[in-house]
Structure formats: C-alpha cells, structure tokens
C-alpha cells in the first residue's frame, strides 16, 4: 500500500499506515501515532480522496449535537489542513466487527479438539469452519458485541439522532473479548428531521432499500443495517444471498445478481411467503437453525420480509434488538467438550456433541412474576460474572455491571462480590432469611432475596438451580 502523509490544522504531520474501515463516504486509517486514526473523505465525482478542506467545517457541527455523555461513539478530534477529513481517537487493541467476526477464507489456526478431529475425518472444510467460529469467539462473543452495539444505537435514537451508513466496518470491538464496543466514522450523525430529507451515503450490502433508491436515512434504516450486519456475522450468510444469486438462476442479470441481493430486490433467504431465494444445497455458512434462536428469527423476519423491506415502520427497533439479544445472550451455553455455543433454553445437552455440562439457572421474580432468566455452564474454578440485568433488566447504565460472581471450588458453589446497590439475603430451610456478605457457599437449589426499597417496593427473588 502506498503510504499517505497528512497534516492536521495544528501542523502535526501524520503518516497513514493501514486502512481499517471503508464506507460509502470515505475510509479510516491507523496511523503512526498511538491510539489515533484518520478519516479521509471521498470526492463523490471520482471517488479519490478529497482535497476540498472547506468540507471540514461540517465536522465541528457534530460537537453541537446533543450526544449523551459517555456514549461509545468516536467523534472528530482535529480536522486536517490538506485533505477533507479529521483525526479521531481509536484504541490500538480494537478491531472492526468485519475483522473480528466475518468469515475469512484465509483463516488459519492450530486450535482443535477431539470433536473437531472427528468432524475433520468426514469433512475437513466443515471442521475448519467450526474451528474459525470458535476461535473468533463463537456465538456468545457475537451476541455480547451486538448487544453493546445495539445499546449505543438505542441511546443515539432516543435523543432523535440517526447514525447513517452503519456497517460491520465502522463498529469496533476489543480484540481480546467484548470489553469495549465503539462506533467510529460518525460524521454523518444528525437529527432524523434532517437525514430523512437527504439522500444518504451507504455501504453496499448493508443499506436499506429506501436508501438505495435515494431516500433519506432514518432510525429504521439504521435498524435495517444493524440487522444485516448482525445476521451476516452470526451465521456467515448474507440474508439475501440465496439461490437467485447462484450462476445460471438469473441468466439475464447474472453479473448484477449480487447487487440485486444487496439491494434487497430478492426475497430474504428464510422468507415464509416466498422461498424462491432460499439457500442452495451447497450453501456455505453456519447451520442457521442451530445458531439463531426462534425469538431472534422472528425479529429478523420482521426486518427482512417484504413487510419489513417495504414498510420500514414494522422493522425491529434498536430498543427491541437490545432486549432480545440480551435474552438470547443470557441463555447461551458453551460446551466444555466441543467448544461450540448453543441456545440452552430447552436442555443442557449440547446439540453439537451431545455432552451435558453442569449449568446454573437463575430465575428472577418480581411480585411473583417471572422477570428474567439467566443460564451459564459451570466449569471447575472458573468464575462466572452474573450480570446486574438479572435484577434490573436491560439498562444502559448496567451494561458492564455485575450483580455478583459464582465459582465452583472443592468446598462447593460459592457466590461473592455482591453489588453494593442492593442488600442480599439467603433463604434458609425454614424460610428464614440470613444476610450475606463477602462470600457464601450455596446449595444446588436455593433462593436469594434482593432488597432495594428505592427501586422496588417488594423484595426481588432469585431462584437458583444448579443441575
């Protein structure tokens, strides 16, 4: 790659090292400065990098928008003096969702286990794909990352702002897990009252049909792009790349069949009313029915079916995505034998290898009504962080907070490090209550009583079952 030198308005020279993101409006680069990235805008006439620095005035406008404090969106820092573009802070230990989760034909790993070796005897390609899925975090990491992304977009929409041109290229996640999720390339953010009247930029493969037709961006087009990215990276299948994109199906338009799929002109691959674009027998990707829960599938169908494509108001909103992903995330189990993740609502048994791990199940009840359910596999001496949402539900303030921790040791199952917002009690065999602090050994079936009179008029009951 040819190195590009730019200068910001303070006179600081910056060397662009590696392109890390590309969208409809420009590209983002890592630089020779630690934790610093640069966005360069395209000239719409020739798609070269624009030298019209008068465009840089618009980036200062972003600072006037009512963005909530501490929202994980990287804003322009300093504009450039010789290109249309700006610098932004971006931690070096982060990577795009595209790099983190998308299928990589050149992926190599030494990771294996007995289950993968048995699969390899029958189908080496399939075994390698499963290994790649495991090494890149499996279903659990993907759900956690998209949950945090959905929360950022929910907050943004709640103050009337539209992101515009969302794709897997401009959502970033910590390389070592999901500790941080940030949106970059934020220079198109504006009020929906403005973006809805202006034809927006878009990244092929992610844009809502109305954007491609030249209409403006809305909350609903953000939701559509999010759903595309989510489904694609969770299953390694684009929701509109079915048999109609295969060679010979649409001979008159063979060259542009992918463009038509990316534009949503074909039915979605799981359309209940039109199966003309279903997956072919030789389709690649993960087995959808073993990856996507029934409830998540309903939300995808609302977005990708003809109803969702044509009537955008029926699409799943970001608020709904945040809640349904949290529910799915809190029911995922990771098999300690084969390493694959699966939806554990129905049974402890792993559908991939038929192993049955020991599982903790928490059912939260408020006023005798089921409020939340959380399940997680238990592995000896491995700490499980029980999220605060088992008590409070989904809230932006508790995304990274935990209620308490659980660990299995030789002396039994131990819970500890309780969140200070609440008082915790353990119900005794005679239905009495014992306040608990520090750490306590619990039985395989017990009830926790959680009290905070400022939030709940009645105690919250958490039924704990280990089996």
Domain shared by 82 and 106, yes or no: no
Residue 353 is assigned to a structural domain of this protein: no
CATH of the domain at 159: 1.10.510.10
Tell me if 161 is assigned to some domain. yes
pLDDT at 105 over 60: yes
Q: Clarify whether residues 364 and 319 are in a common domain.
A: no
* 122 and 19 both lie in a single domain: no
In a domain, 60, yes or no: yes
Q: Based on the domain organization, do 221 and 183 belong to the same domain? A: yes
Instruction: Judge whether 279 lies within some domain.
Output: no
Average pLDDT in the chain = 93
Assign residue 30 the CATH number of its domain: 3.30.200
Give the end of a domain, one of 61, 92, 123: 92
Up-side HSE of residue 148: CA atoms within 13 Å toward CB? Answer: 24
Written as six digits, the tokens of 367 are: 């006023």
Work out the percent of the chain whose per-residue pLDDT is above 70: 97
111 lies in a domain? yes
> Is residue 252 predicted with pLDDT exceeding 60?
no
pLDDT digits (tens, 9 = 90+) for 211-237: 999 899 999 999 999 999 999 999 999
Question: Could you tell me the residue range of the domain that residue 162 belongs to?
Answer: 98-237+284-326
Same domain for 110 and 74: no
Please report the pLDDT score of residue 2 as a whole number.
Answer: 67
Contacts (Cβ under 8 Å, ≥6 apart) of 167: 23, 98, 203, 205, 206, 225, 229
Number of domain units in the chain: 3
Q: Evaluate whether residue 254 is within a structural domain.
A: no
Same domain, 308 and 168: yes
Do 147 and 288 sit in the same domain of this protein? yes
Same domain, yes or no: 88 and 132: no
pLDDT, tens digit (0-9, with 9 covering 90-100), for 81-97? 999 999 999 888 999 99
- Tell whether 406 and 448 lie within a shared domain: yes
Query: pLDDT of 25-67, one tens digit each?
Result: 899 999 999 999 999 999 878 889 999 998 898 888 888 899 9
On whether residue 314 sits in a domain, the answer given is yes
**199 and 300 in a common domain:** yes
CATH of the domain at 403: 2.60.200.20
Q: Are residues 187 and 232 in the same domain?
A: yes
Residue 452 placed within a domain:
yes
Could you read off the pLDDT of 346-378 as tens digits, one per residue? 789 999 999 999 999 999 999 999 999 999 999
For the cut 60, the answer to whether the pLDDT of residue 456 exceeds it is yes
Shared domain check, 413 and 318: no
Q: Is the pTM of this model over 0.85?
A: yes
């Amino acid at each position: 790659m040819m190195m590009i030198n730019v200068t910001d308005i303070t006179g600081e020279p910056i060397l662009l090292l590696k392109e890390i993101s590309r969208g409809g409006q420009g590209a983002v680069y890592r630089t020779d400065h630690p934790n610093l990235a640069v966005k360069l805008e395209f000239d719409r006439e020739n798609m070269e990098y624009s030298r019209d620095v008068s465009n840089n005035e618009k980036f200062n406008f972003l600072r006037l928008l009512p963005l909530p404090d501490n929202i994980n969106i990287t804003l322009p820092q300093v504009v450039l003096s010789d290109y249309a573009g700006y610098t932004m802070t971006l931690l070096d230990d982060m990577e795009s969702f595209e790099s983190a989760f998308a299928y990589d034909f050149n992926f190599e790993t030494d990771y294996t286990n007995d289950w993968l070796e048995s699969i390899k005897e029958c189908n080496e390609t399939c075994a390698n794909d499963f290994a790649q899925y495991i090494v890149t975090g499996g279903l659990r990491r993907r759900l956690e990352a998209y949950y945090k992304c959905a929360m950022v977009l929910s907050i943004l929409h709640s103050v009337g702002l539209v992101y515009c041109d969302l794709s897997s290229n401009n959502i970033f996640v910590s390389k070592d897990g999901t500790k941080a999720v940030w949106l970059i390339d934020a220079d198109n953010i504006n009020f929906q009252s403005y973006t809805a009247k202006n034809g927006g930029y878009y990244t092929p493969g992610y844009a809502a049909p109305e954007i491609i037709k030249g209409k403006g961006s809305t909350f609903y087009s953000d939701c559509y792009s999010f759903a595309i990215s989510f489904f694609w990276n969770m299953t390694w299948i684009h929701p509109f790349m079915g048999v109609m994109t295969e060679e010979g199906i649409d001979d008159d338009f063979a060259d542009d069949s992918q463009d038509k799929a990316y534009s949503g002109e074909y039915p979605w691959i799981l359309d209940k009313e039109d199966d003309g674009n279903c997956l072919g027998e030789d389709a690649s990707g993960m087995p959808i029915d073993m990856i996507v829960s029934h409830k998540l599938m309903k939300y995808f169908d609302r977005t990708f079916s003809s109803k969702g494509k044509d009537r955008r108001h029926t699409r799943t909103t970001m608020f709904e995505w945040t809640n349904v992903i949290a529910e799915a995330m809190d029911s995922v189990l990771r098999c300690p034998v084969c390493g694959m993740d699966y939806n554990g609502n129905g049974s402890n048994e792993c559908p991939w290898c038929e192993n049955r791990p020991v599982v903790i199940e928490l059912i939260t009840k408020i006023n005798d009504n089921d409020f939340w359910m959380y399940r997680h596999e238990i592995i000896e001496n491995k700490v499980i962080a029980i999220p605060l949402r088992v008590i409070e539900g989904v809230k932006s303030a508790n995304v990274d907070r935990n209620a308490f921790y659980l660990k299995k040791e030789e002396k039994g199952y131990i819970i500890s490090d309780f969140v200070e917002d609440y008082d915790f009690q353990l119900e005794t065999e005679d239905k009495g209550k014992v306040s608990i602090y520090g750490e306590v050994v619990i039985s395989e079936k017990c009830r926790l009583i959680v009290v905070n009179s400022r939030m709940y008029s009645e105690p919250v009951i958490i039924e704990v079952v280990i089996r």
